[in-house]
Amino acid sequence: MAILTARANEDRPLAGIVLMLFAFFMFSLIDVNAKWLALLGLPALQLSFMRYVGHFVISTVLIFKGGADFSRFGTDHWFLVLARGFLLMVSTILNFVAVQYLPLTLTSTILFSAPIMICALSWPLLGERVGIWRWLAIMIGFCGILIAIRPFDESFHWAVFLSLTGALCFALYSLLTRKLSGVVASTTMQFYSGMVGTVILLPFALYYWQNPETPLLWFQMISLGIFGWLGHELLTRAHGFAPASTLTPFGYTFILYMTIWSMLVFGHKPDVYTIIGAAVIIIAGLVIWFREVRSSKVTNIST
């Protein structure tokens, strides 16, 4: 019956696409609120802590919902699960610092170089075969990054290095997620993602803590964790309705969301270099996605 239900869900791609769009909308709300609060002087480590403590509380409540069964916390892959949570936390911290100095359009463009990094790292770290077309797309994608960040231009800001390192951490986090998928339950990974960030960032948050000045700012700060958990939950559910080969291209709507927020909230319009760089990165990412889909189909036919 479970198999029949899963197959029925995977036959509803429209539902998966809608959930995917809402998931990345939630992720965009995290960045726009983080930038708003950071510009008002709230420390990035405090905001990062709030991003994870909300996630941790919700995940803990849900994992105990069916009763206090401690076996739900168990896994034979402790190091990888904790490393995955640590990488996500570092990516968040670096991103929250970077958005203070860089337009959201640029940080989102750099973040979406992560699929290109994933493809480049999948061979040495996971032993996955990467063909000539994907290596070509990787090189084109990195050219897109150079166009967007303009390392030799006078407008170049050092925070770009933070954003790039954050994207690399997110790529490594994604590779660990791929490795653990089907081995560790998604609810267990959600729990430990929230726990790692909460435990590590708690002393820093207490040391640097600043109270928001208005109830609205309190809501914005608390909502960071809610949006984070909800975004990941919607993303997980989306993959229950449609395969990754259908959903992946819709992740690039994140750049569109961030462009809109950047203009509406902060009055930042993307410059021509960011637009061209984003377009090149998206094209490279779609080439990689297309080749992976094609490769998986060939593998399925041969088996």
How confident is residue 66, by pLDDT bands cut at 50, 70 and 90? low
**pLDDT, tens only, 212-230:** 999 999 999 999 999 998 9
User: pLDDT at residue 6 above 50?
Assistant: no
**pLDDT, tens only, 174-193:** 888 878 877 887 778 888 88
Predicted pLDDT at 129: 76
Cβ–Cβ < 8 Å for 257, 24: yes
How confident is residue 67, by pLDDT bands cut at 50, 70 and 90? low
Q: What is the DSSP letter of 242?
A: S
Predicted pLDDT at 214: 95
* C-beta atoms surrounding 303 within 10 Å: 5
Predicted pLDDT at 98: 95
Cβ–Cβ < 8 Å for 15, 241: yes
Predicted pLDDT at 19: 92
Residue 201 and residue 236: Cα distance in Å, rounded?
A: 25
* Most confident of the ranges 175-179, 207-211, 249-253: 207-211
Predicted pLDDT at 41: 92
Predicted pLDDT at 207: 95
Q: What is the DSSP letter of 73?
A: G
Predicted pLDDT at 11: 61
How confident is residue 123, by pLDDT bands cut at 50, 70 and 90? confident
Residue 193 and residue 175: Cα distance in Å, rounded?
A: 15
Predicted pLDDT at 9: 52
Predicted pLDDT at 126: 73
Residue 156 and residue 166: Cα distance in Å, rounded?
A: 17
What is the percent of the chain with per-residue pLDDT over 70, rounded to a whole number? 90
Mean pLDDT of 245-271: 88
> What average pLDDT is seen over the chain?
86
Cα-Cα-Cα-Cα dihedral sign, residues 201, 162, 126, 21 = positive
Strand locations in 156-253, DSSP E?
none
How confident is residue 135, by pLDDT bands cut at 50, 70 and 90? confident
Predicted pLDDT at 1: 35
Predicted pLDDT at 7: 43
Mean pLDDT of 150-165: 89
